Amino acid sequence: MWIWLVIFALIAYGCYELYQYENSRKAQIAAKKGGMMRARNNIPVGVASAHKGDLPVYLEGLGTVTAFNTVTVKTRVDGQLTNVAFHEGQFVHAGDLLAEIDPRPYQVALDQTKANLQQATANVAQAKGNLERDQASLRDAQLNYQRDQQLFKDQIIAKQQLDTQLATADQIRGSIAADQATIASNQAAIVSAQAAIDNARLNLTYTKITAPISGRIGLRLVDAGNMVHAADTNGIVVITQLQPIAVLFSIPEDQLPSVLEKLRNGAKLRAEAYDRAGQKKLAEGTLLTVDNQIDQTTGTSRLKAVFPNNDNALFPNQFVNVRLWLDTRRGVTIIPAVAIQRGPSGTFVYLVADDDTVSVRQVKVGLTENNDVSIDEGLQAGDRVVVDGAEKLTEGMKVAVREGGPARNGAGQRGNPKGMLE
């Protein structure tokens, strides 16, 4: 009998333990479900911490790429175009041969002027020989006249013979004067012939048309075989200088004083050119100059920046967005720009407390640069702000902080093109 009692006791104990186990398991499941429900009530958000840093100040303007030099290559002499030595679109250096004009007429003209020079030189030599002969004759005539004067005094010769000798001397003087005039005339002819030679030689060199500047060749305007003239309007080809290259852009007139102040202090202001969409940086350069007047119609002032353009990323007449570095604000409080919210009371952020509750914090936004903004008032370094999921939040709500925020733009792109004060 007692055996059955033991068996019954063991069975009762086992049932009790099983009952306790089931109750414990159900309690754990209920606790987990309760925790999950509570977690589901917390809005998941991405946060970022405010930090101290430096932000550059940029001015922005719309600009057009402009070549420093654009030259229409024209012939300087008339003739038949016998050779075109360039390819359309190629880069050339100053002095490179571009085209040739038939040189034969100009070679003939040069040879003729050389012959004229030789003739004038020979005429001078002949006139000098005549001058020396006449000068010798004059000396002889003067000696004869002096002897005849003495003979006339001694009444050996008649007065007529003395007068004849005097007339001979005067005639020789006239010949000497004519010789001197001939020499002067032919010397002038030599100078003229030399000038004609220089001009003919210059015209001959003009038959080889060379590049006046370094740059990129445009489309050919005249084909080989055509007659070209110095008076032609279109020329042979157009060369555009691309390295360096300029960008003309405008800024509002109220921003001009800050630029001029920097220039007066000798600052070298960096300029950046971006594509039409304002996303891709094309080139970096420096501010070259500021226009001397303000456009009254638009209230803007034009500026010119220069870019090395070594990779030829900028092209004449291309539209670009220009950002001009003006200053750098140091030690400012910085947060991601996506944290900024706007409402009837102005700009604010959702501040996340240590217990993961959010509160509305009014802020004063300073600079906006790429994906960051500086906060002049309302935050300090270390404060956590919501950068993702703010559209579902209200004051005092509990949040579930999620690691990381929204992805930022990659290198070479800009989120906000303004480096301006909000």
Please indicate, yes or no, if residue 336 is contained in any of the structural domains: yes
pLDDT of residue 174: 82
Contact 367, 326 (CB under 8 A): no
Taking CA 307 as the corner, what is the angle to CA 302 and CA 312, rounded to the nearest 5 degrees? 125
Domain that holds residue 308: 47-66+243-402
Which of the four pLDDT bands, split at 50, 70 and 90, describes residue 61? very high
At 121, which amino acid appears? T
Q: What share of the chain is helix, strand, coil (3-state, %, to 5)?
A: 35, 35, 30
Clarify whether residues 192 and 221 are in a common domain: no
Is 90 in the same domain as 232? Answer: yes
Asked if residues 87 and 81 have their Cβ atoms less than 8 Å apart, the reply is no
Q: Scan for tokens 């001078």, then name that residue.
A: 124
- Confirm whether 375 is domain-assigned: yes
Mean pLDDT of the chain: 84
Q: 150 and 58, same structural domain? A: no
Higher local confidence (pLDDT), 255 or 155: 255
How far is residue 95's CA from residue 308's CA, in Å, rounded to a whole number? 22
* pLDDT tens-place string over residues 231-253: 999 999 999 999 999 999 999 99
Which pLDDT value is given to residue 24?
54
Q: Which helix (H) or strand (E) holds 156?
A: none
Position 24 in a domain: no
Residues 310 and 326 in one domain: yes
The Cα–Cα gap between 387 and 410 comes to 18
Instruction: Please return the burial class of 254, using the count of CB atoms within 10 Å of its CB with bins 0-12, 13-18 and 19+.
Output: exposed
In a domain, 407, yes or no: no
Quick check: is 389 in a domain? yes
CATH number, domain of 145, equals: 1.10.287.620
* % the chain with pLDDT above 90: 56
pLDDT band at 18, cuts 50/70/90? low
Residue 32 above 90 pLDDT?
no
The pLDDT value given to residue 413: 33
Residue-level pLDDT at 309: 95
- The two tokens of residue 417 are 């093109």
Residue 415 pLDDT > 60: no
Indicate whether 6 belongs to any domain: no
Per-residue confidence (pLDDT) for residue 89, from 0 to 100 = 93
State the pLDDT at residue 25: 58
DSSP 8-state class, residue 338: G
Q: Are residues 92 and 124 in the same domain?
A: no
Q: Are residues 223 and 77 in the same domain?
A: yes
Q: Which residue has the higher pLDDT, 121 or 286?
A: 286
Identify the pLDDT of residue 127: 78
Residue 310's CATH number: 2.40.30.170
- Which of 279, 334, 301, 265 has the alpha carbon at shortest distance from 55? 334
What is the sign of the dihedral through the CA atoms of 369, 372, 376 and 382? negative
Same domain assignment for residues 86 and 235: yes
- Indicate the pairing of strand 43-49 with strand 399-402: parallel
* % the chain with pLDDT above 70: 84
What is the number of structural domains in the chain? Answer: 3
The reply to whether 380 and 283 lie within a common domain is yes
The answer on 378 and 311 residing in a single domain is: yes
326-to-3, 56, 149, 153 alpha-carbon distances in Å: 100, 8, 103, 108
Of 193, 206, 204, the residue nearest 112 (C-alpha): 193
Mean pLDDT of 309-330: 93
In the numeric block, the tokens 């932000």 are attached to 55
**From the CB of residue 341, how many other CB atoms can be counted at a distance below 10 Å?**
18
Give the model's pLDDT for residue 274: 96
Residue 332 has pLDDT above 50, yes or no: yes
* Cβ neighbours around 305 below 10 Å, total: 26
CA distance 89 to 95: 17
Q: Is residue 290 a part of any domain in this protein?
A: yes
Domain membership of residue 222 (yes or no) is yes
* Together in a domain, 293 and 371: yes
Going by C-beta distance under 8 Å and a sequence separation of 6 or more, which residues neighbour residue 207?
77, 79, 100, 101, 102, 103, 106
80-104 pLDDT, tens digit each: 999 999 999 999 999 999 999 999 9
Q: Are 366 and 421 contacting, i.e. CB atoms less than 8 angstroms apart?
A: yes
Same domain, 87 and 166: no
- Residue 342 corresponds to which amino acid? R
Q: Do both 366 and 385 map to the same domain?
A: yes
Instruction: Label the pairing between strands 51-67 and 245-252.
Output: antiparallel
How far apart CA 408 and CA 390 sit, in angstroms, is 17
CATH of the domain at 229: 2.40.50.100
- Is the separation of the CB atoms in 309 and 243 below 8 Å? yes
